Structure 1
């Protein structure tokens, strides 16, 4: 997905958000993906500043340490992206099946 002709959301950002949701950590999500923390943070910053609301919120540490959570905005965009991607994959599978009959 593009906003003002700039890449805004795609499989990499989806996976990063998914891993943040699983781990509660930007650094762990980045590590799991083989990304530098700087690159992961740049992706998050782009989402947070370009989107209509923040996607990721960091929480300062306390006795249990800090953490990172996704906002409802992030979860809604992820769900919409997944639906769109699923439809695209289904259409591609259908076209491949039709081509195999030729």
Structure 2
């Protein structure tokens, strides 16, 4: 019989996405992008912080804006303060809804943690 180590770190990891008409629409990467846009007010800074190209970040935002019921992100034109990017109220609500969904799913995982003792 094989011995098993007593101090093993066994955990469940979970990632989830929202699909619209069978297309992956929103998940951890887009959440992070929206959060960073909210923090920095800049698509370029948000993309750079994530190690992502500006073009890819805009493509993601364009897709969210097109498939969502309302736009999530809007660009501000230049001026005295310069241009920038900001979240709409819908974008802020989507962040909170996704985080709440994540909290609920993690509670389910934690409630089933006795399963980990069997592994």
Q: 3-state DSSP class of the match of 1:74?
A: helix
Q: What is the rounded CA distance, in whole Å, between the counterparts of 2:116 and 2:44 in structure 1?
A: 45
SS in 1 for 2:109: helix
Q: 1:38-67: per-residue Cα shift (whole Å, max 9, x none)? A: 110000000011111111010011122111
The counterpart of 2:39, out of the listed 4, 14, 22, is 22
2:117 and 2:92 map into 1 onto residues whose CA distance is 39
Normalising by structure 2, report the TM-score. 0.81
1:95/1:49 CA distance change after superposition, 3 Å: same
TM-score, normalised via structure 1 length: 0.93
What RMSD, in angstroms, separates the aligned Cα atoms of the two structures?
Answer: 1.1
User: 1 or 2, which has the higher helix percentage?
Assistant: 1
SS at match of 1:54: coil
User: 1: CA distance between counterparts of 2:116 and 2:35?
Assistant: 35
- Matched length: 101
Q: Determine if the alignment matches structure 1 residue 54 to structure 2 residue 42.
A: no
Gap runs ≥5 in structure 1: none
Q: Secondary structure at the match of 2:58?
A: helix
Q: Corresponding residue for 2:110?
A: 93
1:94 positional shift: 2.0
Segments of structure 2 that go 5 or more residues without pairing to the other structure are 1-17
Q: Matches of 1:65 and 1:101 in 2, distance apart?
A: 56
The match for 1:83 is 100
